[in-house]
Structure 1
Amino acid sequence: MTFNQRLSAEFYARVQRDIRAKMSQQGIDVLILDSNDDVVYTTGFSHYSNERPIAVVLTATTTYLLIPELERHHASAQYDDAELVVYFEFPGRDPAFAVLARTLGNLKGTIGHSFGMSNGRVAQIQRAFPNARMAATSLVSVQRYIKYPEELVLHREAARISDSMVNAGAELISEALRTGKTMPTEIEIENYIISHALETMQNEHEDIMYVAGIAGGLVYSGLRSAFPHGMPTAHRPQRGESMILSLGCRVGGRAAESERTFILGEPNAEQEKFYNLSQEAQAIGTAGLQPGATCSSADDRALNFYRDHGVFQFCPHRVGHGMGVMFHEPPWVEGGDETVLLPGMVCSSEPALYVPGLGGFRLADTVLVTASGPESLTNYPRKLDEVILG
C-alpha cells in the first residue's frame, strides 16, 4: 500500500470553516492570505512564489483563489473548491487586486491580512478597496499551532523519512571510512541524501505534493561544523572530525527534521565532553516540551544546563521552533515567547554547542506535544557510541 500525501477536500473545508469562525469573532469581513505557506495550509495549492501575487481570499461564505493566468491550470489541477479570480500579469495594466475588487465589489468592512504581508502589498489592497479598513491579524498563524489529526499523519511520515536521510548519509560516510574509498565531498553527500529522500517518496508515495524545499538540509564537517548554519562545500570529511547532518523533508507540505552530529573515528576527550553535554541538554530541551509549560520555560531549562556547566558561551541560539507547513514557524521555543504549549503542537528540540577550533555538537528532533508529554517523532540513535563512524 502506498502513502497518499494529499489531504482531502473535506479537510480544507474544515480548515476554512474554523478560520471563518475566528474571522467572525474578530470582526473580519474578508481575509486575504498571500504567503506560500498560508495558501498551502488553507487550500493545498502548492506553487513557487515570485513577484506575481497569489492569494487565498475568504469571505463569510466563499473562498476565492487569486492567481495569474499562467497558474490557472496548475491551480485547477491541485484545488478545485475555490472560485478562481484570474488576472493576466504583473505588474499589469489591470492589476491583480483591481481584478479582485471587481469580483468582491465595494467593500466597506474590515479586510484582515497576516502580519507578514508586505507594506507594499497592503497598500495595493487598500487602493483597490478604498472604503475598507485594513487590519493585521495572527488568527491563521495561531490556528496553525495545533495540528489536525490528518496533518500529524504527514508529520510522522516526514519524520520517518528525515531519520532515513540521516541514516543514508551516515552509511555513505561509513562505507568510505571502512573501505578506504575516496570520501565524497559535503556537496556530494548532500546530493546523495536528497536523492534518497526523493526516491523514497517516488517509490512509496502517491499524489506527491511538490513544494519548495521538499527535502534537504545542511551537511558540514570539521572546523566549519562550529558554524551553526554552515553550508556544504567541496571539503571531504576526514577522520578525527565531527560532522553534522541536519536534514529534513516535507510530506504533503508538512515538515520534519532530524539532525545528528557524528564523530569520524574515535572521539578525543574534548569531542566526547562537548558531545555528551549537547546530548544531555537536548534531552532536557525535549523534556521541557510539556503541555501547560511555556516555550520560554522549555528554552530556559536546556540553556540553564549549559550555563550551569560553564559552556553557555558556545551556545548561540534557542532550543527550537515550531514546525508545520514550514520548517520554521511559530511558536518559538525561546525565552521571549510565552506561548503555552498545548497538545497537537509540533516543535524542534535542538540546543547545541559550537566550539571554535574544535567543531559543532548538535542534535535535533521533531517533537509532538501530547497530553501525556513530549513524543519525539524522529528517533535516530543519539548516544555517543552510536554516532561514531568508521
Structure 2
Amino acid sequence: MNSRINKLHNLMQEQGLDALFIQSYENRRYFSGFSGSNGYLLITSGYCGLITDQRYTEQAKEQAPDFEIITHGIDPFVTIQSVFQDKEISTIGFESESLSFHLFNKIKSLIQKCEWVPLTTELLKIRRIKDDEEIKVIRKSIAISDQAFKDLIPLIKPGMSEREIAVELEYLMGKHGHDGPAFGTIVAADIRAALPHAVPSNNQVKENHFLLIDYGVKYQGYMSDMTRTLWIGNPNEELKGYYHLVHEALERAVEEVKPGMTGHDLDAVAREVFFREGLEGYSLRGLGHGVGLQIHENPRIVLQSEEVLEPGMVFTIEPGLYIPGKAGVRVEDVVLVTNNGCEVLTNTPRHIHI
C-alpha cells in the first residue's frame, strides 16, 4: 500500500498540492484498502487519515493499517472540519468528476482557508497499471465467470427466454463465490443482439440464430467482463459471415497488442477488418476499456485515444457488428499487456455451438 501512497505524494508534488481529499469508493479502496461504503481520505506529505462512521471503525482499522482512523458522529462535516483545522494546508486536490456539487460546496464553506484544485483523470491514471496482487484478484474474478459460463452452456435450449438465461447465469456466478454482478447481465437472442446493451426480455432463444451473452462478476472489488455470441443450431451463411468477421477482428487485435501503441492504434487494427467488408458503420466507436475496480476505467481503447499501452494494463478487446433487423455479434476477452505483447486472461472458448 505504501507504494500507492508514494504515487499520491508524487502527484501532489507535480501539481503543487499540500493535500488530497478522496471520497469515491474506487479510489478510496485503492489507496487505503478500506472497502466500506462510507469514508473520506485526507492525504498530506506526512499524514494519512480515513474518516468513516462507527459501522466501519473496526473494519477500517483492519483494512487500512497505514491510516489514522477517525470515527465521525451524525454530522460528518464537523469531524472533517476539525481534521482539516489540525493541518497546514493551503492547496488541496479533489475529485471534481465524482464529488457532488452539494458535498463540495458544503466542505468548501467549512474549510475556507484552502484553495481547492479540481482533479479529473489523475487518480485514474495511477490505477491503470495493475500490480501483482491486483492481477491475481482479476484472474480469480475471471475464473469465476468462466466456470459459471461453462456450467450454463448445458442448460441453454431453444425456447428459453433471455430473462431465464440471465437468472440462471447470475445464480451460477453467485454459486462460485462472487461479490455480485459487475454490471447488468446482457442476454439478447436473434435480432435483439443488434442492441449493444440489450436488457434481458421475454424474447425466446430461436433455432438457427445467435444468442449474445455479456456479463461479469465482481470479486474482492475487481471486475471481470466477457461476451460470447453462441450459435443455436445452424445459422445461415450471411449470419456466419458476420460472426467470422468479428472473430477475425478480435484475433488480429490480440495479436497486435504491444507496449508503446496507442488505444487508437489498436482500435484501428480491428476496425480495418470491418472497413474491408464495408461494414464499419455497424460497429461501435471503441474496441475496449480498462477493467479493475470499475468495469470501465483507463486505458480507453477507442478512436482518437492517444493513451499509450504499457505493461500491467488490463483491458477488454470486444469488437462487434450490430445490424438492425438482422443480427448482433460481439466477442470479448480481457487481456493483460506484457513486455512484448499480451496475455489473454479469459479462458472460455470463443466458439460455442448449442
Q: 1:327 to 1:252 in 2, by over 3 A?
A: same
For 1:247 and 1:83, the matched residues in 2 are separated by 38
Alignment partner of 1:354 is 2:322: yes
AA at the equivalent of 2:109: R
Q: 2:91 aligns with which of 107, 110, 131?
A: 110
C-alpha RMSD of the superposition:
2.2
The 5 A counterparts of 1:331-342 are 331-342=299-310
AA at the equivalent of 2:170: I
User: Are the aligned partners of 2:181 and 2:216 in contact in 1 as well (CA < 8 Å)?
Assistant: no
Q: Kindly, what percent of the aligned residue pairs are identical? A: 27
Q: Which residue of 2 aligns with 1:388?
A: 353
Q: 1:309 aligns with which of 258, 262, 277?
A: 277
Q: 2:237 aligns with which of 255, 259, 269?
A: 269
Q: Which residue of 2 aligns with 1:207?
A: none
Q: 1:349 to 1:304 in 2, by over 3 A?
A: same
Q: Aligned-pair distance for 1:76?
A: 4.5
For 1:189 and 1:47, the matched residues in 2 are separated by 32
Equivalent residues, number? 351
**Counterpart of 1:242 in 2: which secondary structure?**
strand
The 5 A counterparts of 1:214-229 are 214=182, 217-229=185-197
User: Are the aligned partners of 2:152 and 2:172 in contact in 1 as well (CA < 8 Å)?
Assistant: no
Q: Aligned-pair distance for 1:107?
A: 4.6
Q: 1:192 aligns with which of 145, 157, 168?
A: 168
Q: Aligned-pair distance for 1:80?
A: 4.7
Q: 2:130 aligns with which of 147, 155, 170?
A: 147
Q: 1:57 to 1:381 in 2, by over 3 A?
A: same
Q: 1:285 to 1:235 in 2, by over 3 A?
A: same
The 5 A counterparts of 1:126-145 are 126-137=108-119, 138-145=121-128
**Counterpart of 1:388 in 2: which secondary structure?**
coil
Q: What stretches of structure 2 of length at least 5 have no aligned partner?
A: none
For 1:47 and 1:194, the matched residues in 2 are separated by 24
AA at the equivalent of 1:387: I
Q: 1:16 to 1:144 in 2, by over 3 A?
A: same
AA at the equivalent of 2:228: R
Q: Which residue of 2 aligns with 1:38?
A: 27
Q: What stretches of structure 1 of length at least 5 have no aligned partner?
A: 1-11, 178-182, 203-209
For 1:57 and 1:111, the matched residues in 2 are separated by 9
Deviations 1:37-91, CA, capped at 9 Å, x for gaps: 112212232244xxxx6322212222222223444455446445422333334xx
For 2:183 and 2:288, the matched residues in 1 are separated by 20
Q: Aligned-pair distance for 1:216?
A: 5.8
User: Are the aligned partners of 2:258 and 2:341 in contact in 1 as well (CA < 8 Å)?
Assistant: yes
Q: Which residue of 1 aligns with 2:11?
A: 22
Deviations 1:125-180, CA, capped at 9 Å, x for gaps: 3222211111123332111010111111111122222222332332211xx35xxx
User: Are the aligned partners of 1:282 and 1:349 in contact in 2 as well (CA < 8 Å)?
Assistant: yes
**Counterpart of 2:45 in 1: which secondary structure?**
coil
Alignment partner of 1:68 is 2:33: no
AA at the equivalent of 1:330: N
Alignment partner of 1:13 is 2:19: no
For 2:185 and 2:254, the matched residues in 1 are separated by 21
Greater CA deviation, 12-21 or 372-381? 12-21
Q: Aligned-pair distance for 1:222?
A: 1.9
TM-score with structure 1 setting the length: 0.83
AA at the equivalent of 1:114: E
**Counterpart of 2:329 in 1: which secondary structure?**
strand
AA at the equivalent of 1:272: K
Q: 1:58 aligns with which of 37, 40, 43?
A: 43
For 1:125 and 1:305, the matched residues in 2 are separated by 52
Greater CA deviation, 364-373 or 22-31? 22-31
For 1:62 and 1:191, the matched residues in 2 are separated by 47
The 5 A counterparts of 1:83-102 are 83-89=68-74, 94=75, 96-102=76-82
AA at the equivalent of 2:43: L
TM-score with structure 2 setting the length: 0.91
Q: Aligned-pair distance for 1:97?
A: 3.4
Q: 1:224 to 1:36 in 2, by over 3 A?
A: same
For 1:241 and 1:44, the matched residues in 2 are separated by 46
User: Are the aligned partners of 2:206 and 2:232 in contact in 1 as well (CA < 8 Å)?
Assistant: yes
Q: Aligned-pair distance for 1:19?
A: 1.9
**Counterpart of 1:191 in 2: which secondary structure?**
helix
Q: Aligned-pair distance for 1:215?
A: 7.2
**Counterpart of 2:185 in 1: which secondary structure?**
strand
For 1:293 and 1:115, the matched residues in 2 are separated by 29
Q: 2:107 aligns with which of 97, 122, 125?
A: 125
User: Are the aligned partners of 1:158 and 1:250 in contact in 2 as well (CA < 8 Å)?
Assistant: yes
Greater CA deviation, 298-307 or 72-81? 72-81
For 1:324 and 1:379, the matched residues in 2 are separated by 18
